[in-house]
Amino acid sequence: MSFVLCITGASGAVYGYRLLEVLSEDSELDVVVSSAGAIVLKEELGKKVEDLKGEFPQVRFWNEKNLTSPVASGSRLVKYRGVVVAPCSMSTLGAVANGVNNNLIHRVCEVALKERVKLVMLVREMPYSRVHIENMLKATDAGAVIMPASPGFYHRPETLEEIIDFVVGKVLDQLGVEHTLFKRWGGGR
């Protein structure tokens, strides 16, 4: 399985980082971190993109300005199982919903939509403005799956990691990736 993970400048870099950990275990993974995403990674997790490259040498990292990356091409991306934007800033959502293509993240999302590759956008903002909601509807109508980073609590999490894993597990469910990150409703994992 191959995936593209895009990390943008919304708060919640931990979701992108945890997806990077899980998806890189058993999948081919390409990662694009926006310049704003790099700032948030540093602020929230104390990690630079170079740190991630050292931690995950098996992962292909692409600069957001590299529009000649293989993942920018529909003939390549069609072979991928999915694209995840986590966290997804409202500016990234707006660009994708309105067909604005300013960087590799926007391009990958645009290509995913046109090639019908699963696109999951883990939006991280609150409250939502009407513009945010309209952009979520536009992206949904175009084929994206919009997921707010809203954890459930029926599994009775005891740690912050369990709350994060619930959200990440729901993203993995959308991608069809088996996992045991949280206890499912009804008792089983």
User: Given this model, what pLDDT does residue 25 score?
Assistant: 95
Q: Where are the domains of the chain?
A: 2-175
In 3D, which of 68, 73, 70, 109 has the Cα closest to residue 91?
109
Tens digits of residue pLDDT in 105-143: 999 999 999 999 999 999 999 999 999 999 999 999 999
Tens digits of residue pLDDT in 148-174: 999 999 889 999 999 999 999 999 999
The percent of residues in the chain predicted with pLDDT above 70, rounded, is 98
Tens digits of residue pLDDT in 42-98: 999 999 999 999 999 999 999 999 999 999 999 999 999 999 999 999 999 999 999
Residue 178: is it exposed, middle or buried by C-beta count within 10 angstroms (0-12/13-18/19+)? exposed
| β-sheet bridge partners, residue 123 | 88, 148
Spatial separation of the C-alpha atoms in residues 96 and 132, rounded to whole Å? 12
For residue 115, the number of C-alpha atoms closer than 13 Å in the C-beta half-sphere is 22
User: Average pLDDT in the 25-49 region?
Assistant: 98
Domain 2-175 classification at class level: alpha beta
User: Given this model, what pLDDT does residue 186 score?
Assistant: 75
